[in-house]
Amino acid sequence: MPKYSKGKFGFTPDNVLFSRVRKLVTSLALEWIDVSNVYAVKSVNSRSRAVARIWGLSKIWQKVLGVAPAYIIEAVSEKFDKLSDHQKDEVVLHELTHIPKNFSGALLPHTRKGNGSFHRKLDELISSYRKNAK
């Protein structure tokens, strides 16, 4: 990646980030996530306040293009690269928590009530991650 500067937004595929995603999905047994349809990119010169984002391919795009559900995890270089490996894993887990169990291309919002609580699921994943990391 080039040195960060005020310039044009861009992104490139990121194999290191994809390896991190694959490792987390495997080690935490997130069986509903099909890593062959999860892509990882690193963006540069983003004005976003986010450290990372996840993008889902909605049902209408899937039907029109004749493709399977897919997700893209975007790491915002200016913020993501400054994190420790442990923090990067937690950020990626946060993004993976947005993927529903039916792997439909949809995204789960932060604000859900009841048994489907996003934050409760995220806390459980991070807790499992920390146990495995020891």
Distant-in-sequence, close-in-space partners of 69: CB < 8 Å, separation ≥ 6? 34, 37, 56, 57, 62, 103, 104, 105
Q: How many CB atoms sit inside 10 A of residue 94's CB?
A: 18
Q: What confidence category does residue 32 fall into, taking pLDDT thresholds of 50, 70 and 90? A: very high
Helix, strand or coil, per DSSP, at residue 10: strand
Domain contains 124: yes
76 contacts 46 by C-beta, under 8 angstroms: yes
Domain contains 3: no
Q: Which domain holds residue 94?
A: 10-133
Domain contains 5: no
Domain contains 55: yes
Question: Model confidence over 71-90: pLDDT tens digits?
Answer: 999 999 999 999 999 999 99
pLDDT value of residue 132: 82
pLDDT value of residue 112: 65
| Closest C-alpha among 64, 57, 59 to residue 39 | 57
* Mean pLDDT, the chain, whole residue set: 91
Helix, strand or coil, per DSSP, at residue 15: helix
pTM of the full structure? 0.87
β-pairing verdict for 10-13 and 38-44: antiparallel
Domain contains 1: no
**Distance between CA atoms of 35 and 99, rounded to whole angstroms?**
12
Domain contains 127: yes
The domain spanning residue 84 has which CATH number? Answer: 3.30.2010.10
Domain contains 14: yes
How many domains, in total, are found in the chain? 1
Q: Is residue 3 predicted with pLDDT exceeding 60?
A: no
Distant-in-sequence, close-in-space partners of 39: CB < 8 Å, separation ≥ 6? 13, 18, 70, 71, 72, 73
Domain contains 4: no
